[in-house]
Chains A and B, each alone.
Chain A
Amino acid sequence: QVLLQESGPGLVKPSQTLSLTCTVSGGSISDVDFNWNWIRQSPGKGLEWIGYIYFTGSTYYNPSLKSRVTISADTSKNQVSLKLTSVSAADSAVYFCARDSASSLTYFGFDVWGQGTSVIVSS
C-alpha cells in the first residue's frame, strides 16, 4: 500500500518561500508508471492543481503559479518537494501530494493522496 506524507512549516511569512516535502512509502517515486503531484485546497479557491514531477525530473506546472513554483525529487530519500516563492495570504491552504498515472492511455486520476498539511501565510 502506497502512503504519502506531507511535512513542512505550518506558518510562513509573507514574501518568503514555502517549502514542503512529500515522503512516499510502500512504493517508489522512480516507478515509471506514476507522476507525483502537488495540489492545494483553500476556502477561497477550492482545489487547485499546482504541478507534477516524473522521476526523470520532468515537470509541469500550473501556468498560474509557474513563475513561483519548483517541484523536485530526491530518489535516494523517496521524497518529492515543493517550493513556492514570494508567498502571500492567498497561498494559505492545505497542501496535498498525490499520485497519478504517467500514461495518458491508462490514466485514472489522482488515486493516492497524502493527508495534507496546512500552511498559513502570516506575519
Chain B
Amino acid sequence: EIVMTQSPATLSVSPGERTTLSCRASQSVSSNLAWYQQKPGQSPSLVLYGASTRATGFPARFSGSGSGTEFTLTISSLQSEDFAVYYCQQYHIWPYTFGQGTKLEIK
C-alpha cells in the first residue's frame, strides 16, 4: 500500500500568518490527493481534492499544490477557525491511505 507521510507533526503558528503543510507519498499518486480538516470531537471535513481543488465551504485562503509524491497545503492568513488537524489522503490506488496528520496550533 502507499504510505503517506506528513510533516511536521505539529505546527505552531500565529493568527494572520501564512503556513504550509507537507505531505509525501511513498510512490506517485499523480494528482489523486485530498486534504481534510478535523477539529476536536468532529469528523474530518474535505478541504481540497485533486491536490488543488477547493471543496465546498472552504475559502480561497486554502490552496494546494503538488503532484506525484510531494504535496503542500497552504493557508495564506490563518484564522482562529483554521486551527485543527489536517490529513492528506491518496486515492490513486486501493487501499486508500491517509497521512498521520499535522496539528496546526496557535502560537
Interface residues of A (CB under 8 A from B): 46-49, 60, 62-64, 96, 98, 100, 107-111, 113-116
Q: Is the CB of B46 within 8 A of A110?
A: yes
Is chain B's interface secondary structure helix, strand, loop, or mixed overall? Answer: loop
Residue of A with least CB distance to B53 = A108
The answer to whether the Cβ of B49 comes within 8 Å of any Cβ in the partner chain is: yes
Q: A48-B98, A96-B43, A107-B91 given. 10 additional CB < 8 A pairs? A: A63-B1, A64-B95, A96-B44, A107-B50, A108-B49, A109-B46, A109-B49, A111-B56, A113-B43, A115-B42
Residue of B with least CB distance to A37 = B96
Is chain A's interface secondary structure helix, strand, loop, or mixed overall? Answer: loop
With A113-B43, A116-B43 as known contacts, state yes or no: A108 contacts B55, CB within 8 Å.
yes
The answer to whether the Cβ of B45 comes within 8 Å of any Cβ in the partner chain is: yes
Q: Is the CB of A49 within 8 A of B95?
A: yes
With A47-B87, A115-B43, A116-B43 as known contacts, state yes or no: A110 contacts B97, CB within 8 Å.
no
The answer to whether the Cβ of B63 comes within 8 Å of any Cβ in the partner chain is: no
B101 CB to nearest chain A CB (Å): 6
B1 CB to nearest chain A CB (Å): 8
